[in-house]
């Protein structure tokens, strides 16, 4: 197997592209895919400061690495969820990555903000752990961006993540999530920062290969609360399709973005208000995060 670009020995075959690359040319290919995503969707410019949500996993650290190597002003944001040893290890990975590159890293503790770590939030509120975690991450990421003057937040969602999310929304015809599914979500309120996903053109396998070739030390273990999540089932289904028909994930996601999403955008408009307590954006009087904090406080 030869590299398509230089003709040397290839280290990775990309079946959906019907091609293969040696290590240096794959790294270049990966970075070009990110650059194309940023350019096509006008995600951010080199003059803007980007807040990169990092978890210690391969995707977010690979994204941070690409942006730093590309000369972007990229600051990491780690949300400490307080999930036992998993959070301790993932936090250590982020700190080591930042230190090695002399890159700025912000850290926010969920326990300090909501009154309890994620495992205790479930016990206190009976709310599903992943639901409370997702709500907390969305709120605290946006708040950190606003507090520190960032206009855009970049996350490490890859092609597999986006295709699995889309499959879940389509299976239940959830129109609001379908309206919001996009590589780039603009600000619809002064207190909502832009959110972008520069890795949406790249698969999980490709991101793992980039992290390995770049020597990025990341946490391999899945979150202990992810076991049994429907998103993993959706990924498994899509992996089977991809194995039988390379490019299936790409065609599914890109087809939706290009042909179907505009129809859902029209039904996804909602009126936004500012939370009466914290001032963050909500569709009601009190935002979900403040409600969650109240539940934790009452339980304690």
Which residue range is the domain that position 189 belongs to?
Answer: 32-267
266 falls in which pLDDT band (50, 70, 90)? Answer: low
Closest CA to 64 of 4, 104, 12: 104
User: What length is written for the chain?
Assistant: 300
| Residue 198 domain-assigned (yes or no) | yes
Which residues, in sequence order, are bridge partners of residue 195? 153, 185
pTM, two decimal places: 0.94
pLDDT above 90: residue 271: no
Report d(CA 209, CA 27) in Å as an integer.
9
pLDDT digits (tens, 9 = 90+) for 58-77: 999 999 999 999 999 999 99
Average pLDDT over residues 210-222: 97
| Residue 114 domain-assigned (yes or no) | yes
Average pLDDT over residues 101-114: 97
pLDDT digits (tens, 9 = 90+) for 125-177: 888 889 999 999 999 999 999 999 999 999 999 999 999 999 999 999 999 89
| Residue 26 domain-assigned (yes or no) | no
| Residue 146 domain-assigned (yes or no) | yes
pLDDT above 90: residue 110: yes
Beta strands 184-185; 73-80: pairing state: unpaired
pLDDT digits (tens, 9 = 90+) for 168-215: 999 999 998 999 999 999 998 999 999 999 999 999 999 999 999 999
Least confident piece of the model among 26-35, 260-269, 279-288: 260-269
Beta strands 73-80; 281-282: pairing state: unpaired
pLDDT above 90: residue 124: no
Closest CA to 248 of 131, 166, 191: 166
Q: What is the pLDDT of residue 121?
A: 92
Q: What's the DSSP call for residue 216?
A: -
> Count of domains in the chain?
1
Q: What is the pLDDT of residue 274?
A: 96
| Residue 24 domain-assigned (yes or no) | no
Closest CA to 34 of 60, 63, 5: 63
Closest CA to 161 of 229, 95, 69, 66: 229
Contact 35, 44 (CB under 8 A): no
Q: What is the pLDDT of residue 269?
A: 63
CATH code, domain with 202: 3.40.50.620
């Amino acid at each position: 197997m030869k590299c398509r670009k230089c003709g040397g020995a290839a280290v990775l075959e990309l079946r959906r592209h019907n091609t293969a690359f040696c290590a240096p040319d794959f790294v270049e290919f990966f970075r070009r895919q990110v650059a194309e995503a940023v350019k096509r969707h006008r995600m951010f410019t080199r003059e803007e400061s980007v807040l990169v949500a990092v978890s210690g996993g391969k995707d977010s650290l690979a994204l941070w690495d690409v942006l730093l190597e590309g000369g972007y002003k990229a600051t990491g944001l780690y949300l400490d969820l307080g999930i036992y040893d998993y959070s301790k290890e993932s936090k250590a990975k982020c700190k080591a990555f930042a230190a090695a590159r002399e890159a700025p890293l912000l850290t926010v503790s969920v326990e300090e903000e909501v009154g309890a770590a994620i495992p205790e939030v479930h016990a206190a509120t009976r709310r599903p752990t992943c639901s409370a975690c997702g709500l907390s991450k969305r709120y605290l990421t946006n708040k950190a961006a606003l507090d520190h003057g960032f206009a855009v937040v970049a996350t490490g969602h890859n092609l597999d993540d986006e295709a699995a999310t889309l499959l879940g929304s389509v299976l239940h015809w959830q129109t609001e999530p379908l309206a919001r599914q996009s590589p780039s979500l603009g600000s619809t309120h002064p207190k909502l920062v832009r959110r972008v996903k520069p890795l949406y053109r790249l698969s999980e396998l490709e991101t793992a290969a980039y992290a390995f070739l770049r020597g990025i030390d990341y946490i391999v273990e899945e979150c202990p609360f992810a076991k049994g999540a429907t998103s993993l089932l959706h990924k498994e289904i899509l992996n089977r399709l991809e194995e039988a028909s390379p490019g299936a994930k790409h065609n599914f996601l890109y087809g939706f973005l290009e042909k179907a999403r505009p129809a859902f955008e029209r039904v996804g408009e909602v009126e936004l208000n500012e939370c009466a307590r914290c001032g963050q954006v909500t569709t009601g009087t009190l935002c979900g995060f403040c409600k969650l904090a109240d539940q934790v406080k009452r339980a304690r």
